[in-house]
A and B are shown apart, each in its own frame.
Chain A
Amino acid sequence: MKKLISILTIFLFCYIKYSQAGDEFYDFRCICVCPSFSVIGEEETHRKIYIDIINKDQCSCENVLSKWKPNKTEMLKQFCPRCNCNFEVRNTTTMKIVVIIIICILALLFIYMGFLLCLDPWMNRRTRLYQEQQNEELSMTSETRTPESDDHPFTAIPSSSSRSNVINRVTQEQSKWKRQVQEQRRTVYDRHVLLN
C-alpha cells in the first residue's frame, strides 16, 4: 500500500510539472454583465456576458467591451453604466490534483476488481473447490460460527525468513478481508437482512 502511494505521488508531481507548462486556462477573469445593446438603439447581439482575461486594475466595462465593439468609445461611455463588472479568481490546481487522484483510484480499483473477478478464481480454482467443500461441511456441523472459532492467530507458523513472513501476513490479511466481504455479500444479497 505504501509503495503504491509513493508511486502515485511521484506520478502526480511529474504530471503537475509537465502540465503547468502549457496551461492556457487562466485563473482570473474580468466578467461584465450587461443588458442588450438594443436599450441604446444599437443592433441586438444576443450577448449579455462579456469575459476577458485582463488584470484587476484594468477590469472595467470599457476595456472589456472594446474587444467586441472596437472604435466605439462614445457609445460605450453611454452604455457602460448599465453594466456590472467583476474581477474573479479561481484555483484549478486542486481540481487537477483531485481528478487525477480519482482517476488513479478508479483505475487501481478496476484492475484489482478485474483480478479478483477473473484471474483469482482461475488461479485458485483447485484450492477454492477444496475450501468450499470444507466450508460446507463446517456450516453443516455448526450453524453459528462465532468469530473466535474463525480466527486462529496462532495457526500461522512463523516461517524462517522475515520476507516470507510478511507475505504470509499479507495473504492472511487478504483472505480475512475476503471472508469478511463474502459474509457481507451473503448478508446483503442472499439473505436480504441489511440494506433493502
Chain B
Amino acid sequence: MSTNEKKSLLVSINNRNGNNYDTLNTITAPNNFPLHNNEDNLINMKKIKKKNENEEEKKFKQIDPINLDERRARGDLIQMYNIMNKLDRINLINESYHYFFQYMSSRHTRKQTTQFDENSDISFRQNHSFGLSMDDDMLEITTDARRDVSDLIDRSQGSKNLMDVPLVEDSSLRTHYDDFHTIDWLKDLARDRFRHRVIQKRKKESIWQTIVTLHDSWSGWICVLLVGLSSGLVAAMVDIGTNWITNIKDGICVNAFWLNKPQCCWASKNITYDLYNNPKCPEWFTWPEVFNDWDDGFGEFLISYIFYIFWASFFSLLAVLLVRVFAPYASGSGIPEIKTILSGFIIRGYLGKWTLLIKSIGMMLSTSAGLILGKEGPFVHVACCCGNIFSYLFPKYGKNEAKKREILSAASAAGVSVAFGAPIGGILFSLEEVSYYFPLKTMWRSFFCAMIGAFVVRLINPYGNGHDVQFSIDYKAPWSSFELIPFILLGILGGLWGAFFIKFNTFWSKYRKSTALGRYPITEVLVVALVTALVTFPNPYTRISMTDLIKMLVSQCKAEDDSYLCNYERNFTSSNAKILPANAGSGVYRALWLLFMALVVQIVLMMFTIGIKVPSGLLIPSMSIGAIAGRMIGITVEQLAYHYPKFILFQNECSKADENCVTPGLYAIVGACAFLGGATKMTVSLVVIMFELTGGLTYIVPLMAAAVTAKWVGDAFGRGGIYDSQIELNGYPFLDNKEEFNYTTLASDVMTPRPTDPPLSVFTQEGMSLAEIEQVLKETTYTGYPVVVSRESQHLVGYVLRRDLQMAISQQRRNPRVSGKSMVYFNKTIPQNPPTSNGALSLRFFKLLDLAPVTITDQTPMETVIDMFRKLGLRITLVTHNGRLLGVITKKDVLRHTYSINNHEPIFN
C-alpha cells in the first residue's frame, strides 16, 4: 500500500466534460473518534454530533477562500455536507422510529428497539469511519457541490450524495420521481427538515444568509398568496367569459358586443321581463332580430332553435377539440385525480400550464354550450395548476413533492373558494374531501389562500350583482319545526338519487371504457351536445343556464315578480310588503309541470354527460336537480299548509293569518344541498359551502339535516361518493384514510415475491460486478433494490434506488478505467485484497445506499401495515424474518391486496 492510503481520494466529477478528474487531499477529521460497538448509543451520538459540529465549524473557519483555490474549498464543503447528511440520517431514524412506536403494537416494540439500536449503530460507525483511508483503486463517489444552498442540499440528500449528474440540464426532471409513481412522504419530509436545518445553521454567517433564511420561512405564504391571486383572477375571467358566451346562444348586444344579456339591459329604460323572468330590452338583439325583423311566431322560434343548436354544437366541438389537441388531461372534473395526486402520486403534466389554459377555456365553452355540467368542480383543478406552477418559483416546494402537496392542498381550498365565493367552505372541502396530509400549518395557509382568492373575485365582481356569492338570498324568513319532515324527505331523495347516479355513472364509464364508444370521444361529445340542445331548448327552465335556474329557484316571489313561478293570488300594495301565503294560480301549476320535465331531462342527460371528454364538473348539475326537486316539494308543502291550516302539523305555526309559513325558495336550497350531498357524500364542507353560497345563516340546521340524511341513505347503497367510485373505477393508487381495513391477513401473504414467483432481485453488498448489476437493471424495472450481505444469508443491509444507481453508473462509465468487470461494493469496509483483475477500477456505491429502510416482520398483520402506509406515507417496506430479507411490500401491493379482497380489479400496474 502506498502512502496515499492515509488520505482519501476524492474525485469531484465535473459534469460539463465528464472526464476532468481532480484529486484532492482532504483532512480526515472525524477519524480520531473511538470506535463504538453497542452501548449507550444515544449519549454518544449526541456527543459525537456536537464534536463533529465543532470540528467541522473549526475546519470551515480555517479555510480561507482567498488562500485556497475554489476547488479545495468546495471539497471541504462537500465533506461538511456529507457529515451533516449522516447526522441527519441519525435524526431521521430517531424520528421515523418515534412514529413507529406510536403505531406498532407493544408486541413489536421490543424488536423495533433492538433494531433501532443496531441501525443507529450502523450509521454511527459509518459516521466515524467517514473519511477512512481507501485504496487507490477505490473510487469514492461524491458530489460536485455547488455554492447554491438549495441546489446543494437537494442533491446531496435527494439521492444520497450523487445527484450532480448531467441530467440537471433537463428541466422536466425536477424531482426524482417518474411518471405514475408514488412518492415517499417520509423521505421527502426528512429532506425538507434537513434543508431547513442547513439554512438555519448558516443563518448567522452573513446578511445575505439571513435574508435567505427569511425568504425561506415566508416563501410558503408568498406562494399561497400568488396562488390565491392567480386562481381568483382565472375564476373571475372564466365567470365573465361563461356568462357572455352563454348569452351568445340567444343573441348579441349589438352596440357593445362584450356585454351579456342582463348587463346589456342593465341600464335600459324599456326593460321588460317575460313569464320566465328573462329580461328583454331593445338593446339586446336575439338572432332572429339580427337577421330579420320577425314577429313573435313560429318563424322566430325556429330560427332561435336553429341558432341555439348551432352554437351549442359549435362550442362543445371547440371544447372537445381543444382538449384533444392541446391538453387531454384537461377533461373531466379533475377532483378524483387531485385527490390521488395529493395522496402521493405523480401524474406528470396533469397540473401544467397547458392544462390550466385549456381547462379554463374549455370549461367556459362546455358550460356555455348548455351541457348538463358545471364549472365549479374544475376550478379545484385549475387552482391546483396555479399552485403547481407557482411552487416552481420556490425550490423548497418545487423540488420536494411532499412539500408541494401542502401548497396544492391550500390551492384546492382556493379553488372552491373562488368557484362559489365560499372561503371557509373551501378550506373544509380541502380538509374533508381532497386532502390527504393536512397539518395545521397547511390549514392556516389554506385559510389565507382562500381569503385572497375570494377577495380577488370580489374585486373583479364577475357576477355584476354587487354580491360576493352566486346565489345570494335576501330573505330571512324563519322556518318552522315541522318543516324538518320535508327537509329530511329531500335528504332521502338526494341520497337515493346520489346512489343511483353513482351506480349508473360508474356503469356508463365502464361501458365507455370497454366498448367502441371510448374510441369516438369527439363524436360522443357532439351527439350529447346535439341531444342536449334539442331537448333543452323547448323548455324555458332548461334553456337558461343552470346557475340562473338555481338563482331563480332559491329566490322568493317578490312584488315585482310576474313570472309563472310566482303566479300567486296575492295583491301587493307596496314593494316592501310582507309575502303572505296565498293560493297558487294556474301559472304556478304550469311552472311545476315544466320544472318536472326539466328535472327528468337534467337527470337523464347528466348521467350521460358526466365523463365525456370535456372539462366537466358535477357540483352545479347536482345542485340544479336538487333545487328543482326542492322547489317542487316546497310549493307542494306551501299549498298544503295554505289549504289545510288546521292539520295537526301546520296548526301551531301556520294558522296565524299574517305570518309567512313556508318559503319554497328555502326548500330549493335544502334540496340542492341534499342532492349534492347524495352524490359527493360530503357533510360539513357541503353545509358550510351552502350557507356561504346563499348567505342564509338561519338555515344551518335544515341544511345539516338534509346533508346527513342524504349521506346515510347514500351509504346504505354503497360506500364512498362519486369521486371515490371514480378513483376505484380508474384504479388509481389511492389509499383511503377514512376506510377501515378489516381482514386478518399477514404481511407474508401480501409481499412480493409470491411463493410461485422467481426470487427477489437483490444486490449483494460485495462480490457483484458492474456488468451483473447492469444486467439486473436491464432485466427488471423496479424502482429500488434491497442490498443483502450475501445471497446465502440474505441478511438485510439497505435499499438502493434504481434511479440513483443508473445515474451513478452512467456517470462512472465515462471514466475509461471503469468497465463491466469493475467490482461494485455497497459496504464501507474495504476488502483487504480487492480483486483488481485486469486493472478495472472498483466502485463503491456505499453512499447511494439507504441504510434505514422501513422494515417489518413477516408476521405483521396487514392492518398494521396498511396503517403504516397510510399514516407514515410509505412507498415501500421490506419484510424480514430474523433479520433475513423475505420480500418487499409496495404501496401498490397493498392497494392490489385491498382491491382483490373487495373483489375489484386493479387497473394500474
Tell me if chain B binds chain A.
yes
Contact B575 A82 (CB under 8 A): yes
- Please encode chain B, from 300 to 344, with 1 for each CB lying within 8 Å of some chain A CB and 0 for all others: 000000000000000000100110111111011000010000000
Known: A98-B237, A184-B328. A192 touches B575 (CB 8 A): no
Stretch at the interface among B265-273, B439-447, B487-495, B872-880: B265-273
Stretch at the interface among B251-259, B541-549, B634-642, B686-694: B251-259
Q: Is A153 an interface residue (CB 8 A)?
A: yes
Q: Is A147 an interface residue (CB 8 A)?
A: yes
Contact A194 B559 (CB under 8 A): no
Cα A26 to Cα B179 in complex, Å, equals 54
Cα A147 to Cα B560 in complex, Å, equals 65
Contact A194 B337 (CB under 8 A): yes
Cα A189 to Cα B320 in complex, Å, equals 12
Question: Which B residues are in CB contact (< 8 Å) with A33?
Answer: 558-560, 575
Question: Which A residues are in CB contact (< 8 Å) with B574?
Answer: 35, 39, 81-83
Cα A189 to Cα B559 in complex, Å, equals 53
Contact A48 B322 (CB under 8 A): no
Stretch at the interface among B170-178, B657-665, B837-845, B882-890: B170-178
Contact A196 B559 (CB under 8 A): no
Question: Which B residues are in CB contact (< 8 Å) with A177?
Answer: 354
Contact B327 A84 (CB under 8 A): no
Contact B256 A49 (CB under 8 A): no
- Please encode chain A, from 55 to 66, with 1 for each CB lying within 8 Å of some chain B CB and 0 for all others: 000000000000
Question: Which B residues are in CB contact (< 8 Å) with A157?
Answer: none
A-B contact pairs, 27 of them (CB 8 A): A24-B256, A25-B259, A25-B283, A35-B574, A48-B560, A49-B271, A88-B466, A91-B461, A96-B256, A101-B237, A109-B322, A113-B322, A117-B325, A147-B173, A147-B179, A148-B167, A151-B172, A153-B169, A180-B349, A181-B325, A181-B326, A184-B349, A185-B328, A188-B613, A194-B347, A195-B337, A196-B726
Supplied contacts A148-B806, A196-B729, 4 more A-B pairs, CB within 8 Å: A84-B576, A95-B259, A144-B781, A181-B326
Contact A52 B730 (CB under 8 A): no
Question: Which B residues are in CB contact (< 8 Å) with A113?
Answer: 321-322, 325-326
Question: Which A residues are in CB contact (< 8 Å) with B324?
Answer: 185, 189
Q: Is B403 an interface residue (CB 8 A)?
A: no
Contact A195 B730 (CB under 8 A): yes
Contact B240 A36 (CB under 8 A): no
Contact A39 B256 (CB under 8 A): no
A-B residue pairs, 9 tightest by C-beta: A99-B258, A82-B574, A48-B560, A188-B328, A153-B169, A35-B572, A184-B328, A102-B241, A84-B575
Cα A151 to Cα B174 in complex, Å, equals 14
Q: Is A94 an interface residue (CB 8 A)?
A: yes
Nearest A residue to B241, CB-CB:
A102
Q: Is B562 an interface residue (CB 8 A)?
A: yes
Contact A35 B267 (CB under 8 A): no
Contact B509 A196 (CB under 8 A): yes
Cα A149 to Cα B172 in complex, Å, equals 13
Cα A68 to Cα B170 in complex, Å, equals 72
Nearest B residue to A82, CB-CB:
B574
Cα A46 to Cα B354 in complex, Å, equals 51
Question: Which B residues are in CB contact (< 8 Å) with A185?
Answer: 324, 328
Question: Which B residues are in CB contact (< 8 Å) with A184?
Answer: 327-329, 349
Question: Which A residues are in CB contact (< 8 Å) with B263?
Answer: 90, 92, 95
Nearest A residue to B279, CB-CB:
A49
Q: Is A154 an interface residue (CB 8 A)?
A: yes
- Please encode chain B, from 177 to 212, with 1 for each CB lying within 8 Å of some chain A CB and 0 for all others: 011000000000000000000000000000000000
Residues of A participating in the B interface, judged by any CB pair closer than 8 Å: 19, 22-29, 33-36, 39, 46-49, 51-53, 67, 81-84, 88, 90-92, 94-96, 98-102, 105-106, 109-110, 113, 116-117, 144, 146-148, 151, 153-154, 176-177, 180-181, 183-185, 187-189, 192-196
Q: Is B573 an interface residue (CB 8 A)?
A: yes
Nearest B residue to A26, CB-CB:
B267
Nearest A residue to B322, CB-CB:
A109
Question: Which A residues are in CB contact (< 8 Å) with B513?
Answer: 192, 196
Find B562's partner among A28, A48, A187 (CB 8 Å cutoff).
A48
Contact B258 A96 (CB under 8 A): yes
Cα A15 to Cα B178 in complex, Å, equals 47
Q: Is B290 an interface residue (CB 8 A)?
A: no
Cα A168 to Cα B560 in complex, Å, equals 66
Q: What is the minimal beta-carbon distance from B803 to any residue of chain A, in angstroms?
A: 9
Question: Which B residues are in CB contact (< 8 Å) with A117?
Answer: 325
Residues of B participating in the A interface, judged by any CB pair closer than 8 Å: 166-167, 169-170, 172-173, 178-179, 236-237, 240-241, 244, 255-260, 263-264, 266-269, 271-273, 283, 318, 321-322, 324-329, 331-332, 337, 347-349, 354, 357, 361, 364, 460-461, 464, 466, 509, 512-513, 518-519, 521, 558-560, 562, 571-577, 611, 613, 726, 729-730, 781, 806, 907-908
Question: Which A residues are in CB contact (< 8 Å) with B347?
Answer: 194
Contact A95 B240 (CB under 8 A): yes
Contact B572 A36 (CB under 8 A): yes
Nearest A residue to B466, CB-CB:
A88
Cα A131 to Cα B573 in complex, Å, equals 79
Question: Which B residues are in CB contact (< 8 Å) with A91?
Answer: 461
Question: Which A residues are in CB contact (< 8 Å) with B272?
Answer: 47
Find B269's partner among A23, A48, A51 (CB 8 Å cutoff).
A51
Nearest B residue to A84, CB-CB:
B575
Question: Which A residues are in CB contact (< 8 Å) with B179?
Answer: 147
Question: Which A residues are in CB contact (< 8 Å) with B348?
Answer: 180
Q: What is the minimal beta-carbon distance from B782 to any residue of chain A, in angstroms?
A: 11
Question: Which B residues are in CB contact (< 8 Å) with A116?
Answer: 325
Find A49's partner among B169, B273, B519 (CB 8 Å cutoff).
B273
Contact B730 A196 (CB under 8 A): yes
Q: What is the minimal beta-carbon distance from A113 to any residue of chain B, in angstroms?
A: 5
* Residue of A46, A144, A153 with most chain B CB atoms under a 10 A cut-off: A153
Q: What is the minimal beta-carbon distance from B777 to any residue of chain A, in angstroms?
A: 11
Question: Which B residues are in CB contact (< 8 Å) with A25?
Answer: 255-256, 259, 264, 266-267, 283
Known: A90-B464, A187-B328. A46 touches B562 (CB 8 A): yes
Cα A106 to Cα B365 in complex, Å, equals 10
Contact B572 A39 (CB under 8 A): yes
Nearest B residue to A184, CB-CB:
B328
Nearest A residue to B806, CB-CB:
A148
Question: Which A residues are in CB contact (< 8 Å) with B730?
Answer: 193-196
Question: Which B residues are in CB contact (< 8 Å) with A183?
Answer: 349
Cα A82 to Cα B560 in complex, Å, equals 12
Question: Which A residues are in CB contact (< 8 Å) with B613?
Answer: 188-189, 195
Q: What is the minimal beta-carbon distance from A182 to any residue of chain B, in angstroms?
A: 9
Cα A153 to Cα B907 in complex, Å, equals 34
Question: Which A residues are in CB contact (< 8 Å) with B571?
Answer: 39
Cα A33 to Cα B325 in complex, Å, equals 50
Question: Which A residues are in CB contact (< 8 Å) with B327?
Answer: 181, 184
Cα A27 to Cα B806 in complex, Å, equals 65
Cα A193 to Cα B907 in complex, Å, equals 8
Q: What is the minimal beta-carbon distance from A14 to any residue of chain B, in angstroms?
A: 15
Known: A25-B256, A95-B240, A195-B730. A110 touches B267 (CB 8 A): no
Cα A151 to Cα B337 in complex, Å, equals 27
Question: Which A residues are in CB contact (< 8 Å) with B337?
Answer: 194-195
Contact B256 A23 (CB under 8 A): yes
Contact A99 B321 (CB under 8 A): no
Contact B349 A100 (CB under 8 A): no
Contact A106 B361 (CB under 8 A): yes
Q: What is the minimal beta-carbon distance from B550 to any residue of chain A, in angstroms?
A: 22
Known: A90-B464, A94-B460, A101-B237. A189 touches B256 (CB 8 A): no
Contact A154 B244 (CB under 8 A): no
Contact B256 A92 (CB under 8 A): yes
Contact A109 B361 (CB under 8 A): yes
Question: Which A residues are in CB contact (< 8 Å) with B577?
Answer: 35
Find A35's partner among B240, B361, B521, B559 (CB 8 Å cutoff).
B559
Nearest B residue to A47, CB-CB:
B272
Contact B361 A105 (CB under 8 A): yes
Q: What is the minimal beta-carbon distance from B265 to any residue of chain A, in angstroms?
A: 9
